[in-house]
Each structure stands twice: as structure tokens, then as C-alpha cells.
Amino acid sequence: SGKKVLIVYAHQEPKSFNGSLLKIAVEELTKQGCSVTVSDLYAMQFEPRATRNDIVGRLHNPEAFNYGVETWEAYKRGGLSKDLVEEQKKVQEADLLIFQFPLFWFNMPAILKGWMDRVLVQGFAYDLSKAYDGGLLQDKLSLFSFTTGGTKEKYAIRGDIRYLLWPMQHGIMHFCGVKVLEPHICYAPEKVSEEKRKEMLTAWSQRLKTLWKEEPIDCSPEWYFK
């Protein structure tokens, strides 16, 4: 299909279940003729903190540091740090962004949140007048693929897991204009049998085969809170 895929991967251990999900995605998508790039955040020792080191050269206002303003100004003049420029280039070229991670405290791991904080700067990913359907990263797809510690039943009792997806899918991706595919959730892989884990991996592989035919979710509050 000649599509370009960026997988942003946040797990410390290649032999983990997340590592297996990553491996399957790379193999399956490559087999389809996609070119696949992986940002393995832990292996890259990606810096999650948003600091003034992200700006090369002079600050817009050295008196009082405002990260949002400084990165916006730096983006416009080509003054962002090398690691951010590299990640932005990968995002820019991608047709599909896959985020692969274990859910920590109802959220993405800090290293992945730091990637979102630092890479998706104003001017590059959004502009206040151009957000959501008018966002700057239109015509891209995204997919959140993650594992949980708790079982599906536990999540059902405590409230829909979709609520947790609102800040990630809607507040970040949709805000930047990126369309969102149905999330891929592997519930409690550590608590199930080896056979069940194999089934989970097969299901992911199967889904990837027809991924490009999928319609994005309806990015409305109803999808998350109905």
C-alpha cells in the first residue's frame, strides 16, 4: 500500500507482551508494503520533560519562561532541539500513528506523555484557530494500542474504559486534526493463560490485515460518555 506508519513505543522490555505487539505490527505492516518507523522511547532514552533545553539559541522572552510560547516561536524560526525536529519529521511523514504502551494509572506512561508534550508543539501540530477537525495534522490516522493490568470485568464495574481515552484520543489526537481508529486493548495479559495470550496476539495480527479499510470513530462526546 506504500503507506507510512510511525509506531511510538513505550515499554522497557523487548520480551514483554507490548514488545510482542510491536513486533507483530512491524512485521504485518511491512508485509503489506508499508514503510514502518519505530520510536522506541525507552531505548532512545527520550527526554519526557518540557524544559528550556528544547529551544536552541535565544529565548523569545528570557525574563519569564513560558514553554508554550517559546516552543511556538522556536518552531517558526527552526530553533527547536534536534530530538524534537526528528520526531516531528517522523510524524509529518506518517499516514498512521500507532501508540503502543502499557496503561499506567489510567494513563499513558510518563515517557509517552512527555513525547506528546514536547513533540506536538503549537505551529506544528495545532494552532488555536485551527484545532479539532481543522487541526494541522489532518489526513492522518492514529491508533492507541495498549495493555492493562486489570481485567475487562474490573474495568466494566468501575466505569467505562472509554472515559480514559477521552484525554488521549480526543484531547490530543483529535485536537491536532488526526483521525482516531478504534483503540486496541489487550486486557490483563499477565493474568491469562499462554493460550489466551497467543489468541490476543493473533487478534492484533488479524486486525492489522484490514486496518486500512477501517472507518475512524466518531470523535464526539457521545462515543466516550454514552
Domain ranges of the chain: 4-225
Which contacts qualify for 122-129: CB closer than 8 Å, 24 or more apart? Answer: 122/68, 122/71, 122/72, 122/75, 123/72, 123/75, 123/76, 124/75, 124/88, 125/91, 125/176, 126/175, 126/176, 126/177
Please choose, from the candidates 192, 86, 187, the residue with its C-alpha nearest in 3D space to the C-alpha of residue 146. Answer: 187
Distance CA 147, CA 121 (A): 27
Whether 128 shows a pLDDT value over 90: the answer reads no
CB of 184 closer than 8 Å to CB of 211: no
pLDDT value, residue 157: 83
Instruction: Please return the burial class of 17, using the count of CB atoms within 10 Å of its CB with bins 0-12, 13-18 and 19+.
Output: middle
**Which of 184, 111, 102 minimizes the C-alpha distance to 150?**
102
**% of residues, the chain, pLDDT over 90:** 90
- b/e map 122-148, b = 16+ CB within 10 Å: bebbbeeeeeeeebbbeebbbbbbbbb
Cα–Cα distance for residue pair 109/69, rounded to 1 Å: 25
Q: Using CA atoms, how far apart are residues 140 and 96, in angstroms rounded to an integer?
A: 6
* DSSP track, 42-107: TTTT------GGGB-S--S-TTS--HHHHHHHHHHHT-B-HHHHHHHHHHHH-SEEEEEEE-BTTB
Q: What is the mean pLDDT of residues 121-127?
A: 96
Whether pLDDT at 36 is above 70 = yes
Summarize pLDDT for 82-108 with one digit per residue, the tens. Answer: 999 999 999 999 999 999 999 999 999
| Whether pLDDT at 226 is above 80 | no
pLDDT at 159 over 90: no
Q: How much is the pLDDT for 167? A: 96
150 in Cβ contact with 187 (< 8 Å): yes
Give the DSSP H/E element, type plus range, for residue 156. helix 152-158
Write the pLDDT tens digit of every residue in 37-62.
Answer: 999 999 999 999 999 999 999 999 99
Reply yes or no on whether the pLDDT at 212 is more than 80. yes
Q: Per-residue pLDDT for 158 more than 90? A: no
CATH 3.30.420.480 fits domain 4-225: no
Mean pLDDT (the chain, rounded): 95
Question: Position 77: which residue type?
Answer: R
Query: What pLDDT, in 10s, does the model give residues 163-197?
Result: 999 999 999 999 999 999 999 999 999 999 999 99
Q: How far apart are CA 163 and CA 103, in angstroms?
A: 13
| pLDDT band, residue 156 (cuts 50/70/90) | confident
| pTM greater than the 0.95 cutoff | yes
Which of the four pLDDT bands, split at 50, 70 and 90, describes residue 1? low
Residue 97 CB coordination number (10 Å): 22
